C-alpha cells in the first residue's frame, strides 16, 4: 500500500482536484484519471465521457462487481448519464464459505449466479457542490443448485439482494459539498441516501462522510453509515463508523 501510495505521488502530473470523482452522480472522473480506496470502489476514466467502476471496495474480493457509466450531457450544470453493471458473487461466496460470513453448511450451494443492474442518473454540478439522483434496477439470476438464503449481514446483503430476495429498485440521492479553503477544496462533505425497494425490503442506508485531501493525490475519509434492514422479525437499524484512505490521480 505504501509503495502504491508513493508510486502514485511520483506519477502525479496534473491538477485534478483530489475530491471529486462523480460517485453516484452523472458526472465522470475524466479520461486518464482514477480513484481508489480501501473501501471506495476503483474508478477509472476510460474515456472522455466514460467511467469504469469496480464496485464495493474491499467487498469486491468477495462479490466482484463492475459498472460502466456513460455521461450523456453536461459539464458543470445539469447532467445525465446511464450506467450498467454486472456482479459475479459466487466466487467470492465460495471464498467466504467457512470464513464466518456465510454458512459453512455443506448443503448450501452458491454456484452459477450473477447480478445485473442498470441505472439512470441525473444531477447538478457547481464549483462547490455535486448533487446526484439515480434510479437503479437490479435483478439476479441463480443456477438451479443455489440454496444460499439471506446471509443476514447488511454490508453483504446489498450486493446479494437480487439473488437472495428477488428483483429490486434502488433510488439514490447523493449530495457532496466542497467548501473552498484557500484556492481549492481540501474538504468534501458527503450525504448519500439509498433505499432498496422490492422483495425482502425496503432496506435503506445513509452514509455520511467527511473527506480531507492531505495532498493532491491522497485523501483521508471518515464517517458513519446507518442502515435499516427489513428483517423477518421487523426492521433492524445498524450503524458503523467507516474510514478510508483513497488515492486519486
Partner 1 sequence: MRALVLLFLFGGCTKLPTTWNEVEDFPILEDKDHGALPPVPDNLRVMTWNLKFGGGRIDFFFDGHGERVHMTEKEVEDNLQGILALIDEQDPDILMAQEVDVASARSAYVDMAQEILDRTDFNYAAWVPAWQVDFIPQDGLGPVKMGQTVFSKWPITRNTRADLPQSEESSAVVNYFWLHRCIQIVEIDLEGTPLGIVNNHPAAYALDGTKQKHLKRIFDETQRFDGLVISGGDFNVIPPGSLITEDFADSAPANVPGVSDVFYTEDEMASLEPFYEAYNAAVPIDDYQGLDAAGQAEYFSHSISGDVFWVVKLDYLFSPQTWFEAHTLQKPGDGNPPTASDPMSLSDHAPVVAVLELP
Judged by CB, which is closer to partner 1: 72, or 239?
A: 239
Judged by CB, which is closer to partner 1: 131, or 206?
A: 206
Residue the block writes with cell 428483517: 231
Q: Least separation, in Å, of the C-beta of 232 and partner 1?
A: 4
Q: Least separation, in Å, of the C-beta of 242 and partner 1?
A: 9
Which chain residues interact with partner 1 by CB under 8 A?
Answer: 96-108, 147, 149-153, 222, 224, 231-233, 236-241
Judged by CB, which is closer to partner 1: 31, or 149?
A: 149
Q: Least separation, in Å, of the C-beta of 145 and partner 1?
A: 13
Decide if 80 contacts 122 (C-beta within 8 A): yes
* Among the listed residues 216, 205, 187, the one whose alpha carbon sits nearest the alpha carbon of residue 242: 205
Q: Least separation, in Å, of the C-beta of 166 and partner 1?
A: 15
Judged by CB, which is closer to partner 1: 126, or 147?
A: 147
Judged by CB, which is closer to partner 1: 13, or 107?
A: 107
Q: Least separation, in Å, of the C-beta of 66 and partner 1?
A: 26
Judged by CB, which is closer to partner 1: 106, or 182?
A: 106
Write out the DSSP string of the chain. Answer: -HHHHHHHHHH--S---SS---TTSS----TT-EEEESSSPEEEEEETTEEEEETTGGGGGTS-EEEEEEEEE-SSEEEEEEEEEEE--HHHHHHHBTTTSB---TT----SEEEEEEEEEEEEE-SSEEEEEEEEEEEEEE-TT--------TTTHHHHHHHHT--EEEEEEEEEE--EETTEE-EEEEEEEEEEEETT--EEEEEEEEEEESSSSEEEEEEEEEEEEEETTEEEEEEEEEEEEEEE-
Q: Least separation, in Å, of the C-beta of 227 and partner 1?
A: 9
Amino acid at each position: 500500500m505504501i509503495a502504491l501510495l508513493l508510486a502514485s505521488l511520483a506519477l502525479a502530473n496534473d491538477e485534478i482536484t483530489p475530491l471529486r470523482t462523480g460517485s453516484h452522480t452523472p458526472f465522470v472522473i475524466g479520461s486518464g484519471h482514477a480513484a481508489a480506496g480501501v473501501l471506495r470502489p476503483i474508478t477509472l476514466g476510460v474515456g472522455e465521457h466514460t467511467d469504469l467502476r469496480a464496485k464495493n471496495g474491499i467487498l469486491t474480493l468477495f462479490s466482484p462487481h463492475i459498472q460502466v457509466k456513460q455521461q450523456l450531457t453536461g459539464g458543470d450544470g445539469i447532467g445525465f448519464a446511464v450506467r450498467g453493471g454486472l456482479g459475479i458473487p459466487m466466487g467470492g461466496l465460495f471464498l467466504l464459505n467457512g470464513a464466518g460470513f456465510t454458512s459453512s453448511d455443506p448443503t448450501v450451494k452458491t454456484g452459477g449466479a450473477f447480478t445485473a443492474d442498470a441505472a439512470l442518473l441525473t444531477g447538478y454540478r457547481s464549483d462547490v457542490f455535486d448533487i446526484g439522483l439515480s434510479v437503479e434496477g437490479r435483478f439476479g439470476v441463480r443456477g438451479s443448485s443455489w440454496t444460499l438464503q439471506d446471509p443476514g449481514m447488511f454490508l453483504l446483503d446489498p450486493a446479494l439482494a437480487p439473488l437472495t430476495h428477488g428483483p429490486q429498485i434502488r433510488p439514490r440521492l447523493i449530495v457532496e459539498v466542497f467548501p473552498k479553503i484557500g484556492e481549492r477544496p481540501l474538504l468534501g462533505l458527503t450525504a448519500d441516501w439509498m433505499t432498496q425497494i422490492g422483495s425482502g425490503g425496503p432496506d435503506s442506508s445513509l452514509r455520511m462522510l467527511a473527506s480531507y485531501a492531505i495532498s493532491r493525490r491522497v485523501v483521508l475519509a471518515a464517517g458513519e453509515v446507518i442502515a435499516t434492514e427489513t428483517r423477518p422479525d421487523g426492521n433492524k437499524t445498524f450503524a458503523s463508523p467507516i474510514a478510508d484512505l483513497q488515492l486519486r490521480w
